[in-house]
C-alpha cells in the first residue's frame, strides 16, 4: 500500500511540475517505498514467528520475542471449545478489543497438571491473557487437527476410564 502510494504520488508531483523531477516534493513520497517494504517484512516475520508447533519435546508456542515449550508430561488434557469460555466472569476484561471477534470461534485448550514450580514459569511466560489457573487457551486456525496431533502424543494415563462393561469388577 505504501509502495503503491509512493509511486503514484511521486508520478503526480512529477507530472504537476511539467515533467521535471523535483526531489523536494517527489522525493518524500519515494521514501514510502522502503517504508512499505519494511512493514511488509515485519508482517511476514510476525506471521512466521507467531505460531503453535507440535515437536518431539512438547507443544511449542512462539511469539515475536520468545517461545515456550510445554512438555507432554505436563499436559493433562486437550479440548476444543469456543474461546469465550476462557474469558468468562472476571477474566472478561483481559480480552483485547482486537481479539473480541475471535471469541465465538473454537480454540485449543490445554489443561496443565504437575508441580507448581514447573507449571508457574509457563503460565508467567504465556501471560494472563492466554493462561488461566487451570488451562491455556490458544486461538489457532484449525484447533481440531492440532488437538488430534497433541492427544496422539500424550503419554498413556494409568487408571484411565475403561467405560461401561469393561470396568474392573470389585472382588467381594
pLDDT (tens digit per residue) in 106-133 = 888 899 988 889 999 988 888 877 788 8
Q: Which of 10-19, 139-148, 151-160 has the lowest mean pLDDT?
A: 10-19
Q: For the residues 13-41, what does the mean pLDDT come to?
A: 69
Farthest CA pair distance, the chain: 104
* Integer angstrom CA distances of residue 57 from 40, 50, 52, 79, 98: 32, 19, 13, 20, 32
Question: Is 162 a residue whose pLDDT tops 60?
Answer: no
pLDDT at 47 over 70: yes
> Which of the residue ranges 29-38, 142-151, 163-172 has the most confident prediction, judged by mean pLDDT?
142-151
- Count Cα neighbours of 48 within 13 Å in the Cβ-side half-sphere: 6
- Spatial contact of 121 and 127, defined as CB atoms under 8 Å apart: no
- Displacement of CA 152 from its chain's centroid (Å): 21
Q: Where are the alpha helices (DSSP H) in the chain?
A: 2-16, 23-30, 32-49, 116-126, 143-153
- The mean predicted confidence, pLDDT, of the chain is 77
pLDDT computed for residue 157 by the predictor: 57
The pTM of the full predicted model, rounded to 2 decimals, is: 0.64
Amino acid at each position: 500500500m505504501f509502495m503503491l502510494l509512493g509511486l503514484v504520488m511521486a508520478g503526480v508531483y512529477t507530472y504537476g511540475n511539467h515533467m521535471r523531477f523535483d526531489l523536494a516534493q517527489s522525493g518524500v513520497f519515494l521514501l514510502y517505498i522502503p517504508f512499505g517494504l519494511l512493514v511488509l517484512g515485519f508482517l511476514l516475520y510476525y506471521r512466521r514467528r507467531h505460531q503453535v508447533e507440535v515437536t518431539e519435546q512438547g507443544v511449542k508456542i512462539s511469539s515475536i520475542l520468545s517461545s515456550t515449550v510445554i512438555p507432554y508430561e505436563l499436559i493433562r488434557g486437550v479440548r476444543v471449545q469456543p474461546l469465550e469460555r476462557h474469558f468468562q466472569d472476571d477474566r472478561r476484561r483481559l480480552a483485547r478489543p482486537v481479539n473480541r471477534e475471535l471469541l465465538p470461534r473454537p480454540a485449543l485448550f490445554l489443561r496443565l497438571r504437575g508441580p507448581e514450580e514447573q507449571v508457574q514459569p509457563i503460565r508467567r511466560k504465556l501471560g494472563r491473557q492466554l493462561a488461566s489457573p487451570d488451562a491455556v487457551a490458544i486461538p489457532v486456525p484449525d484447533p481440531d487437527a492440532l488437538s488430534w496431533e497433541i492427544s496422539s502424543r500424550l503419554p498413556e494415563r494409568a487408571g484411565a476410564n475403561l467405560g461401561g462393561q469393561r470396568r474392573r469388577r470389585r472382588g467381594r
